[in-house]
Amino acid sequence: EQKAASNAISTIVRYPELTDLVEALTEIAQEEMKHFGMVLERIKERGFTLGYERKDDYVADLAKFIKRGGSREEQLVDRLLFAAMIEARSCERFRMLSEKIEDAALAEFYRELMISEAGHYTTFIGFARKYGGNVNVDERWQQFLDHEAEVIQNYGKKETMHG
């Protein structure tokens, strides 16, 4: 949640002229930090403390696919598609947790997070299409999906979940 908020803020800083994007990302950043606060509260309720940030190899490997050169338009599309991918996978993760966890309150919490992440995913995809200009967003999205498939395949059969 912290990284998602940070990514939204970073995109705002890079593209301040896109007012509707800035407004949407401001809401997402605030919502992600609210989620972080809710997660922190549940951690404390269970007698735990927040741990140090762990390196997320999945996210790092996906981030390598983001274009570093090209036009501002291409860079924006890649940032938005990267964010959409992370949100989509978070949505899936929260769905699985909400369906499998025995604690009813925690299951409902994860279900609410799932719904929120799904909304973020569609927001990022929508803005990529809106501001994609000459970029074939659907083709680039498929390239992201193909890259992700390679990343996952390289991890082998060990059970992992990003985040």
Give the pLDDT confidence of 29-73 residue by residue, as tens digits: 999 999 999 999 999 999 999 999 888 899 999 999 999 989 999
- pLDDT tens by residue, 83-130: 999 999 999 999 999 999 999 999 999 999 999 999 999 999 999 999
* Helix and strand element counts for the chain (H, E): 6, 0
Residue 163 has pLDDT above 70, yes or no: no
**What pLDDT is stored for residue 34 in this prediction?**
97
In the chain, what are the domain boundaries? 2-153
Residue 162: its pLDDT value, please? 56
| 128, amino acid identity | A
pLDDT of residue 160: 59
Do residues 50 and 43 lie in contact, with contact meaning Cβ atoms separated by under 8 Å? yes
Query: What average pLDDT does this structure show over 9-24?
Result: 98
Residue 4 identity (one-letter amino acid): A
Better pLDDT: 157 or 74: 74
pLDDT of 122 reads 98
Question: What's the confidence (pLDDT) of residue 15?
Answer: 98
Residue 95 has a CB neighbour count (10 Å cut-off) of 17
Q: Which residues contact 41 (CB under 8 A, 6 or more apart)?
A: none
State the helix-helix crossing angle for 72-100 and 2-14, rounded to 10 degrees: 160
Q: What is the pLDDT at residue 146?
A: 98
pLDDT of residue 10: 97
Residue 4 has pLDDT above 80, yes or no: yes
CATH superfamily of 2-153: Ferritin, core subunit, four-helix bundle (1.20.1260.10)
